C-alpha cells in the first residue's frame, strides 16, 4: 500500500482527520476553496502556488479535486527525512527540490525564466521592494544560476544553486508524528 511506505497508521489517522476537517461539505475530496480556507495558506504569499501543487500532483482525471491519497502524497514531500532513508521516497532531497522547483516553474515547461522568477519574487515580497529592485534580483539570479547561458534555470541548475542548502530541513514540517 502506498500509504504504508510514507506514514504510520497513527499518522494516516491524523491526516484523515485533517482531510475530513477541511472537507466541510463531506464531498470526499478537497477543492481549491477548501485549501484557501486554511489560514496559513491564505496569508502565505505563495499559498496559491502551494495549493496549485496539490492539484498538479493529483492523479485524478478531474484536476480540480484532491482526494485523500493525493493529499497524503503532496504532504509526504514535507515529512522530515530520516538518515539512511531510501533515495526514491517522496520526502527525499531530490523530491523536495523538484517540489520547490515547480513552485517557480509557473508554466510547467521544466525551466524557470526571468519572468517566472520575477512573478514569484513579487508574490513573496509584494510592494515591499520596488519593481526595479526585483528585476535586478531576478536578473542576477539568472546570471548566477544559468550555467548553459540559455537565460533559463533548469532543474539541474536550480539543484546546483541549492547544493549547500539544507533543503531536507527547510522543507520539513513535523506535523505527521
Of 34, 69, 75, 81, the residue nearest 53 (C-alpha): 75
Q: Are 175 and 6 in contact (CB under 8 A)?
A: no
| Residue 123 to residue 100: CA distance in whole angstroms | 15
pLDDT digits (tens, 9 = 90+) for 48-82: 888 888 887 666 656 788 999 888 888 877 776 66
Q: Are 177 and 13 in contact (CB under 8 A)?
A: no
113: helix, coil or strand?
Answer: strand
Mean pLDDT of the chain: 83
List, in order of start, the domains of the chain with CATH numbers.
1-76 (1.10.238.10), 87-177 (1.10.238.10)
C-alpha cell at 167: 533543503
C-alpha cell at 18: 485533517
Low pLDDT (below 70) residues in the chain: 1-7, 57-62, 80-88, 90-91, 168-169, 172-177
Amino acid at each position: 500500500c502506498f500509504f504504508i511506505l510514507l506514514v504510520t497508521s497513527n499518522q494516516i489517522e491524523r491526516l484523515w482527520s485533517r482531510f475530513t476537517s477541511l472537507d466541510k461539505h463531506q464531498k470526499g475530496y478537497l477543492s481549491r476553496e477548501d485549501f484557501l480556507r486554511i489560514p496559513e495558506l491564505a496569508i502565505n504569499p505563495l499559498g496559491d502556488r502551494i495549493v496549485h501543487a496539490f492539484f498538479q500532483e493529483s492523479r485524478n482525471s478531474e484536476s480540480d479535486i484532491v482526494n485523500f491519497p493525493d493529499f497524503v502524497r503532496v504532504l509526504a514531500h514535507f515529512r522530515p527525512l530520516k538518515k539512511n532513508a531510501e533515495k526514491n521516497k517522496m520526502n527525499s532531497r531530490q523530491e523536495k527540490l523538484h517540489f520547490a522547483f515547480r513552485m517557480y516553474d509557473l508554466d510547467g515547461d521544466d525551466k524557470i525564466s526571468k519572468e517566472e522568477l520575477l512573478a514569484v519574487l513579487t508574490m513573496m515580497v509584494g510592494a515591499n521592494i520596488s519593481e526595479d529592485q526585483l528585476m535586478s534580483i531576478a536578473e542576477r539570479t539568472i546570471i548566477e544560476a544559468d550555467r548553459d547561458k540559455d537565460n533559463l534555470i533548469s532543474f539541474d541548475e536550480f539543484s546546483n544553486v541549492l547544493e549547500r542548502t539544507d533543503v531536507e530541513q527547510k522543507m520539513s514540517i513535523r506535523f505527521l508524528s
